[in-house]
Structure 1
Amino acid sequence: MFEEMDEPAFPKFLAAFWAEKGWNTSVTANNDGTYLVAGDKDSGSRGLIGVRPSAETEIGASEVEDFAAFCDKKGVDVRVMATRGRFTTGARSAADAGNVHLLDPNELASAVRDEGVEELVGKFTGGGGGGGSLFDSLPFPVPSGLPSGVPVVPIAAAVVVVLAAVFAGPTLLGFVPFVGGGGGGGAADAGPPFTAMSLANSGNATANGTANVTTVQWDARVQDTVGNYSARPNETFVVVQFNATAGDEITTLRPGNFVLHVDGRNRAPQTFQNTTNAFKAKLLPTRIAPGETSSAAVVFSVPEDFDGATLVETYDGPGVRFERAELTFDVE
């Protein structure tokens, strides 16, 4: 039933199959050729499918155990691993112990027949991929219209990064609490659009959701040099300036809490070894006392012809609220 389905279409089919069963789904491609299908229901249930689309795949016990441990850590209710290959006997024992449901081609074909959705398979075979709007597979509702005055390009960039940064850690996309971007800031008006969003769950927020959240005013600009460093050939630097105000608790912002999503990739902050202490002092990390404000910057190297970027606070971050502002840059 799945022999003619292209590898990239297989996880899309699984997402559509889950959607038929009432899940809101999204698909994320990993660099190693594997995929993750994240899902949630209005009831609050969270699901995850680890997908190994190759027909040559053999999944063993250790991979299932790692997947189960990850789901335990992230509070995933429904755990599934799917492949067009096979699972070993050890993998099936590990799945029983870890409450992971395994789907090989035979089991998946039976499930399709039981649900009566054979026609769904045809939509993803023969080079199909399901197609559809980018918004169709988002794991949260998208309004039918955009409010007036909201810049469309930054919103689109934020939507793309939701799909690409579900595992910017890697970790499961539970929700996207804070998005700030688009307008404001001289750099945004003069070059590629920049947006910012947080994937971190700040468990410190009070009833009104603000008291213990760190507010980060930010701005971004493109530079060919920083300190005594020049950008590599065909690349340039993006400098992100922060003015961060802590809530009711001490907050530390570290470089590893952030990535810059550019051209479908998450880029880690740059490190600088052979430079002055004064230059390094301008960069993250920074420790902020309750109610105090601290300024710092983080630097990324990106392709010089990039057409937009989104700053992402990963799940490892403390949970910040981004606010775009026109700031004075400390890194020259």
Structure 2
Amino acid sequence: MLQGMDQSEFGQFVAALWERQGWQTQVKNDDGRTFVAVQRPNGGEEGLLWAIPDGEIGGQQVQQFATLCQQYEVSESAIVTAGTISDHAEKVSQGSGVELLDGEGVARILKQKEWTDLAEEYGDGGSSADAASDDGGDSPLDQLRAVGDRAGSKLSGAFGGASVPVKPAILVVVVVALLAVGVLSGVSIPFLGGGGPVSAESVSPANSTTTLSVTWNARVTDTIDPDEGDGKVYPAPQGKQFVLVSMQFENTGQGTVNLTKKSFKFRTNGETYSHQPLAEHDGLMGLEMSPGNYYTGWMVFTVPEGSSGTLIYDQNATEGTVAVEFTRDSKLAVNVSQR
């Protein structure tokens, strides 16, 4: 399986996974560690990945990698492993800006994106599926299929009250089974999420009456899960993806700002998209912000799958003219907060 790759193979595999998303990649080995530098074409957004083939990722590794990325001023970073991630690592990552993708998440990507050929190509020394089948069908692709078949046969018992095994060593048993019946729909690759990069466009009209400072961060995803405990998720429509944006607002001017959902839009491929409301979750609330006031909110946009785009402020949507200064903070948590 993926965990059978050596360090060199896994680094090449991670690079190929990001290349499928339109990034340029370069694998670098440093002091026994494998990194993958990624960049959007034409000198665009840059990122650094630490590819770790097996084991459990700990909080100290996350902190070390975060420090390294800060030294080199890397804006986007992620640790990708075929192993597991400790609770401490998850906690440290929340404040470090380092995103985490474990073996279970990699398997979900391969299954849903129909990219299991990558596991076949780079796993087991690059052996073909036919050659692996002669040895008992042990190629990553064969095992992904076999795991799905075995897990599917257990579903009736699992959903009838019996428990589904969830040991970390079982890379894809539960995930593939749930995907097969549609319980899980959607997957996000760190700072990719199935789509292109997100930017924001500041505006400074000469006749502006006040200034709004917006600290923001965004991610692209196929599903939104506001509350992991209630079993409810919002899947993106067929051929679409969500752009989820978290924003912190401050009125730094002298006048009042009428803050509304319709003021913020997402532009991609010459089209402009308005906020996508979610049932039972309000997101950005409409309000008037006096000078010096703060507010935190989020918005969701539904756009064509694979799109890259820009968050914009629509002056025509509200009364008055406002100068808007967007500043991205990659450490700002991007989620649907409960209200």
Normalised to the residue count of structure 2, the TM-score between the two structures is 0.37
Normalised to the residue count of structure 1, the TM-score between the two structures is 0.38
Which has a greater percent of helix?
2
